[in-house]
A and B are shown apart, each in its own frame.
Chain A
Amino acid sequence: MAKFQSLQEAVRDNLRDEDTVAFEGFTHLIPHAAAHEAIRQGRKDLTLIRMTPDIIYDQMIGMGLAKKVVFSYAGNPGVGLLRRMRDAIENSWPRAIETVEHSHAAMANAYEAGAAGLPCAVFRGYRGAGLRDVNPEIRSVTCPFTGEELAAVPAHRPDVTFIHAQKASRRGDVLIEGIIGVQKEAVLAARRSVVTVEEIVEDFDDLHPNLCVLPHWAITSIAHVPGGAHPSYTHGYYERDNASYLEWDKVSADRDLFTQWMRTNVLEAGPEAFAERVKGL
């Protein structure tokens, strides 16, 4: 049953050291504010799952929160590589991290299997792909009806999933609009879920019947954080701050500059700073 909390409380109550956690979002609706709160609270030894780890995972890895990353595309979207994640993989700075690499199809299927309560996902994939040789979690099964060999990967079952969404109703139902990515599956696959929202409205009485709505009883905690996806965007509220993604490429290129940026913009800031950051976007 969704509980309305401050972001500090929601992270404190739902994210523990050594958890397997997904902060999901597919370019759109990336839960930046929630990730920054996790960094401020200094969680450690996390296993991070994400289809498209971008700036927030770069920040969490660079701050030493992660021991392992499960992913399918690690880049700064439209800009280039993730420099902090590369530094961890290539030079073990600030610590060594383990990586488990999949394709998008595998990750999407693994979340869906987790949401469906299945132990694994079965799909037609990885044929001829090199990832089969470096990721022992990629196996195969034979269809009992046709004999076709199909790829199998374990279901994603995060301890907790964090997402950002447009609206919550007073009852705690959540509406997600636009590019919805894999967020519904990531929430339903997880034991606990935390949703940050732009706005809390009275009710959802007038919504189109087929919209992407997560019922209040499928969510653990909701925090009202306007601008909480910045510099990602929230469809209907503010646009993607492309300049910040470009700036990140410079900030993340240097360890000292990165550490200083994190101190000023994350460690010494709070969730309320996000509303200011999206003004004019």
Chain B
Amino acid sequence: MAMITDFTPNEMMTIAASRALSNKDVCFVGIGAPSAACNVARLTHAPDITLIYESGTIGTAPNVLPLSIGDGELCETALTTVSVPEMFRYWLQGGRISIGFLGAAQIDRFGNINTTVIGDYNKPKVRLPGGGGAPEIATSCKEVFITMKQATRGMVEKIDFYTSFGHGDGGDHRRRLGITTKGPTLLITDLALWKPDPETKEFNVVSLHPGVTREQVQDTCGWKVHFSDHLEETPPPSELELTTLRELQARTERAHGGKKGS
């Protein structure tokens, strides 16, 4: 398949994230960037993936990206739509989801996520929307993927609020809290792929996207970055991947009147 060099960092991020998903996955799709990646996977190499949105839609196959988590398109293309209590009790808490796919406003080196407040909780500088389903997605899914654009204000030494728990202070912190699932196992940014160190659980860069330097990764990250000894280069988007993503976004933009969807 032809490889292309004309793509944006955002496109690389979405496509790299889509590659991490497979046909056998049952994926709980978070609001924001994850939705595009999950649907590109479904439209390319993983047509049998089961996508679940917290509005209760199971096995959904939207033709355009939803603007909200409860768009009609999700229900109309789903295998079935269940109530929200059933979604959280039987399907998520019941341990039936293999991957939870989350976005983040703030993240730290151990994959802990903040989407609640910037500043003090009781006197916030910015009141963000809050956790929604994320606190339990982070602990009930067998593993968690996270995707976000790199920036020093997003990738920080210390997050302002623990909306959803990643690896806490690292090491065996999850196990000590009685959490039996793996937690964050992959972080996909616009510049690189990151995986947690097996012992410390700190996210290390394992693959740089084409043309990205170590300096660029460090300059957009608020903590001292560790690079894997076996640092790889992410394969560039294939023509199929890029065309699929661009067509999906164009359909979405037409459907939502200029808004890209999530």
Instruction: Judge whether A182 and B85 touch: CB under 8 Å.
Output: yes
Q: Verify if A108 is at the interface (C-beta below 8 Å from B).
A: yes
A129 to B159, CA, bound (A): 13
Identify the stretch in B51-59, B191-199, B228-236 within 8 Å (CB) of chain A at 4 or more residues.
B51-59
Contact residues in A for B85 (Cβ distance below 8 Å): 108-109, 111-112, 182, 185
Instruction: Judge whether A233 and B72 touch: CB under 8 Å.
Output: yes
Question: Beta-carbon contacts of A152-190 to B below 8 Å, as 1s and 0s?
Answer: 000000000000000000000000001111101100000
Instruction: Judge whether B71 and A240 touch: CB under 8 Å.
Output: yes
Identify the stretch in B14-22, B42-50, B148-156, B254-262 within 8 Å (CB) of chain A at 4 or more residues.
B254-262
Q: Which residues of A contact B (CB under 8 A)?
A: 26-28, 51-52, 71-75, 77-79, 81-82, 85-86, 89-90, 101, 103-105, 108-109, 111-112, 123-131, 134, 148-149, 178-182, 184-185, 212, 233, 235, 239-240, 242-243, 245-246
Which of B69, B71, B179, B257 interacts with A128 by CB under 8 Å?
Answer: B179
Instruction: Judge whether A89 and B127 touch: CB under 8 Å.
Output: yes
A155 to B85, CA, bound (A): 13
Instruction: Judge whether B129 and A73 touch: CB under 8 Å.
Output: yes
The A-B contact count (CB < 8 A) is 176
* 4 interchain residue pairs of minimum CB distance: A27-B70, A128-B165, A77-B68, A75-B129
Contact residues in B for A104 (Cβ distance below 8 Å): 54, 84, 88, 131-133, 136
A127 to B89, CA, bound (A): 16
Instruction: Judge whether A126 and B135 touch: CB under 8 Å.
Output: yes
Contact residues in B for A71 (Cβ distance below 8 Å): 130
Q: Which residues of B contact A (CB under 8 A)?
A: 31, 54-57, 66-72, 74-75, 81, 83-85, 87-89, 92-93, 116, 121-122, 124, 126-136, 138-140, 161-165, 168, 173-174, 177-179, 256-257, 259, 261-262
Check A182/B84 contact, CB under 8 A, given A104-B132, A128-B168, A129-B165: yes
Which of A74, A108, A128, A233 interacts with B139 by CB under 8 Å?
Answer: A128
Instruction: Judge whether B256 and A28 touch: CB under 8 Å.
Output: no
Check A240/B72 contact, CB under 8 A, given A73-B129, A128-B162: yes
Sampled A-B contacts (7; CB under 8 Å): A27-B69, A103-B136, A109-B89, A123-B88, A129-B164, A179-B75, A240-B71
A248 to B42, CA, bound (A): 33
Check A85/B55 contact, CB under 8 A, given A73-B132, A130-B116, A179-B75: no
Check A72/B257 contact, CB under 8 A, given A129-B162, A130-B161, A179-B57: no
Instruction: Judge whether A181 and B257 touch: CB under 8 Å.
Output: no
A46 to B212, CA, bound (A): 53
Check A26/B84 contact, CB under 8 A, given A81-B128, A101-B130, A179-B75: yes
Instruction: Judge whether B68 and A240 touch: CB under 8 Å.
Output: yes
Contact residues in A for B57 (Cβ distance below 8 Å): 179
User: How distant is B78 from chain A, measured CB to nearest CB, in Å?
Assistant: 9
For the A-B complex with A73-B132, A182-B85 known, give 15 more contacts whose Cβ atoms are closer than 8 Å.
Answer: A27-B68, A78-B259, A85-B127, A86-B127, A89-B127, A124-B140, A125-B135, A126-B136, A129-B162, A129-B164, A130-B161, A178-B72, A182-B83, A242-B67, A246-B259
A131 to B116, CA, bound (A): 9
Instruction: Specify the chain A residue showing the minimal Cβ separation from B165.
Output: A128
User: How distant is B194 from chain A, measured CB to nearest CB, in Å?
Assistant: 20
Instruction: Judge whether B55 and A235 touch: CB under 8 Å.
Output: no
A179 to B76, CA, bound (A): 10
Instruction: Specify the chain A residue showing the minimal Cβ separation from B92.
Output: A105
A243 to B174, CA, bound (A): 43
Instruction: Judge whether B89 and A123 touch: CB under 8 Å.
Output: yes
User: How distant is B3 from chain A, measured CB to nearest CB, in Å?
Assistant: 33
A206 to B68, CA, bound (A): 32
Instruction: Judge whether B66 and A109 touch: CB under 8 Å.
Output: no
User: How distant is B220 from chain A, measured CB to nearest CB, in Å?
Assistant: 23
Instruction: Judge whether A181 and B92 touch: CB under 8 Å.
Output: no
Which of B54, B89, B131, B179 interacts with A131 by CB under 8 Å?
Answer: B131
Check A125/B132 contact, CB under 8 A, given A78-B68, A181-B84: no
User: How distant is A280 from chain B, measured CB to nearest CB, in Å?
Assistant: 13
Check A27/B130 contact, CB under 8 A, given A126-B135, A128-B162, A129-B135: no
Instruction: Judge whether A149 and B178 touch: CB under 8 Å.
Output: yes
Instruction: Specify the chain B residue showing the minimal Cβ separation from A71.
Output: B130
